[in-house]
Amino acid sequence: MLSADQLLLVLWKRKWTFLVTLVLVVAGAAAITATMSKVYEASSYLLVASVRTAGSDFEATQTNQVLSKTYAELLQTRNTAEAVAERLPFAVQVTELQGVVEVQPITQSQLIRIRAEAGSADKAQTIANTFAETFVDRVDSLDPAGEGSVRITLAEPAVLEPSPIRPRPKLYLALGIMLGFLAAAGASLLRNRLDQRVEIGADTIDVLGIPVLGRIPRGSRAKGLDRHADAFRLVLANLTFTNLGVRPRTIAVVSPSESDGKTTCAFNIARSAAEIGTRVLLVDGDLRRGGLTTLLKERFDGTEVGLSSLLVTPNGISRALTAKGDTPFVVVGAGPTPPNPAALLGSPGLTEFEGAARDLFELVVFDTPPLLVGPDASLIATKTEGVVLVVDATRTRRTALTQAVDQLRRTQANILGVIVNRAGEGSSYYYYGARTGRSAPRRPHVEVEALAATRRSNDA
């Protein structure tokens, strides 16, 4: 059960759903009211009196009330309705006439009320008066000499009522507004319950107990991969803080699903580290689709030795260490697609490759396939010193995120933090450098041959 504060918070969060639903319900009520036909009402009254002398006032009252009920029943018979229909100046069906006329004896009196409804005030008045006059004439015709024990007279003819009794616009509009508020609140609560998107506000510091390393704003003047440099520098700095003051040497960048921005984040983390002089290796760990290799396809000519080859012969890592294009770091592609990527990643070759890469570089960044499409990402995550989880603030669902975190925790991976991608331009992590277009100067390419030579000399 939501408290009042929680309810108000949900309504504010879903304010557009609330407002649209409210407007639609009120507009619908107004439209229905405008299309309703006007109904007018008129009432005539008959007086029923007993001619006989009663023994007491109580007896007289009881007798008159019984007579009123009796004649009220007679007024509602089909024979009376047929007689009235014949005398009306306009055509009307007997069944329709019975449906628009209500006969009611008035309690504690000798009066019978005949209430008629019609589409115009004139018709309502005519029907009510014709009913009364017809019934009086029928009773008189049964006793032409006036010697009967009961006398019925027209006590009050119907008068013309110029105002319709239906519709009542003010009342209906008020009811529509009340119903609109209830429907709007219900729609807001329902949408909030059915919305599976991850709720990450500007002041959110953790997601499912995992600290937020940074928020990458949505949209930028920059094109391609070079976007939001300062935001990724902050991510790089926070990696050190979350790892007890020591920056991890190898990290796996993972995401629950496809298109969360994981590959772009991995590239920018590597670039930010390289720009401050760190020796960085960026590895495409997606052996099935090669997301990073596809993204950087202009940097590869198809002849490079990739990760799939190095997992078979880890000692050949130096052959794959080639800086491509204008990237200030080394990139290892996915390589040829193996028959069983999961089996290859689960082999000892991955452990050997990770150790060899860590000896040559200060930071090794693995781009991985989505966590929920197979075991590949989990296998890589367990071999690295830390895992960075990327979520898309606009599309990642709570269910997918929960499953991804559970998967990482079951494998006992060291989850360093969460990067919130596409968080909006107003993000507090959108710093001065990114807003003004300033960025740190790029460092020269890594001297790969020198690194390999150093490794060989150390082995000797």
**pTM (2 d.p.):** 0.58
Structural domain count, the chain: 3
Question: What is the model's pLDDT at position 318?
Answer: 64
Do 140 and 259 fall within a single domain?
A: no
3-state secondary structure of 193: helix
> 76 pLDDT band (50/70/90 cuts)?
confident
Do 451 and 306 fall within a single domain?
A: yes
Do 254 and 309 fall within a single domain?
A: yes
- Where does a domain end: 156, 182, 216? 156
| pLDDT at position 439 over 50 | no
Do 227 and 145 fall within a single domain?
A: no
Question: What is the model's pLDDT at position 440?
Answer: 35
pLDDT over 90 percentage in the chain: 26
Do 234 and 128 fall within a single domain?
A: no
- Lowest pLDDT segment from 111-125, 260-274, 280-294, 437-451: 437-451
d(CA 382, CA 250) in angstroms, rounded, equals 11
Question: What is the model's pLDDT at position 381?
Answer: 92
CB 237 within 8 A of CB 245: no
Do 235 and 116 fall within a single domain?
A: no
Do 236 and 303 fall within a single domain?
A: yes
Question: What is the model's pLDDT at position 358?
Answer: 87
Return the biggest CA–CA distance within the chain. Answer: 142
- Lowest pLDDT segment from 47-56, 250-259, 268-277: 47-56
Question: What is the model's pLDDT at position 147?
Answer: 54
Is residue 4 a part of any domain in this protein? Answer: no
Contacts of 51 (CB under 8 A, 6+ apart): 148, 149, 150, 151
Is residue 402 a part of any domain in this protein? Answer: yes
CB 321 within 8 A of CB 357: no
**Mutual angle of helices 15-35 and 169-194, in 10-degree steps:** 150
Question: What is the model's pLDDT at position 390?
Answer: 92
Q: What is the mean pLDDT of residues 187-209?
A: 77
Is residue 2 a part of any domain in this protein? Answer: no
Is residue 225 a part of any domain in this protein? Answer: yes
Look up the CATH number of the domain holding residue 49.
Answer: 3.30.70.1130
Q: How many helices (H) and strands (E) does the chain have?
A: 18, 12
- Where does a domain end: 156, 184, 218? 156
Q: What is the mean pLDDT of residues 203-230?
A: 71
pLDDT over 70 percentage in the chain: 78
Is residue 429 a part of any domain in this protein? Answer: yes
Question: What is the model's pLDDT at position 425?
Answer: 52
| pLDDT at position 452 over 60 | no
Higher-pLDDT residue of 433, 73: 73
Q: Residue 171 class from Cβ within 10 Å (0-12 exposed, 13-18 middle, 19+ buried)?
A: exposed
| Closest among 47, 254, 231 to 151, alpha carbons compared | 47
Is residue 74 a part of any domain in this protein? Answer: yes
Do 260 and 386 fall within a single domain?
A: yes
Q: Where are the alpha helices (DSSP H) in 321-440?
A: 341-345, 348-360, 376-383, 398-410, 432-436
Give residue-wise pLDDT tens across range 138-190: 877 765 545 556 788 899 999 998 899 988 889 999 999 999 999 999 998 88
Encoded tokens for 268: 């920018």
Question: What is the model's pLDDT at position 42?
Answer: 94
Whether residue 167 is preceded by a cis peptide bond, meaning omega within 30 degrees of 0, is yes
Do 284 and 374 fall within a single domain?
A: yes
> 201 pLDDT band (50/70/90 cuts)?
low
Question: What is the model's pLDDT at position 214?
Answer: 87
Do 310 and 450 fall within a single domain?
A: yes
Question: What is the model's pLDDT at position 314?
Answer: 62
| pLDDT at position 332 over 70 | yes
Is residue 200 a part of any domain in this protein? Answer: no
| Closest among 459, 147, 131, 99 to 315, alpha carbons compared | 459
CB 21 within 8 A of CB 183: yes
Look up the CATH number of the domain holding residue 326.
Answer: 3.40.50.300
Is residue 443 a part of any domain in this protein? Answer: yes
- Lowest pLDDT segment from 56-65, 81-90, 218-227: 218-227
- Lowest pLDDT segment from 27-36, 54-63, 127-136, 404-413: 54-63
Higher-pLDDT residue of 460, 340: 340
CB 281 within 8 A of CB 416: no
Do 19 and 84 fall within a single domain?
A: no
Mean predicted lDDT score pLDDT of the chain:
80
Do 82 and 214 fall within a single domain?
A: no
Q: Look up the domain containing 454 and give its range.
A: 206-459
Question: What is the model's pLDDT at position 366?
Answer: 94
Give residue-wise pLDDT tens across range 261-310: 888 899 999 989 998 888 899 998 888 887 777 777 666 655 567 888 88
> 114 pLDDT band (50/70/90 cuts)?
very high
Question: What is the model's pLDDT at position 360?
Answer: 86
Residue 145, Cβ neighbours under 10 Å: how many? 5
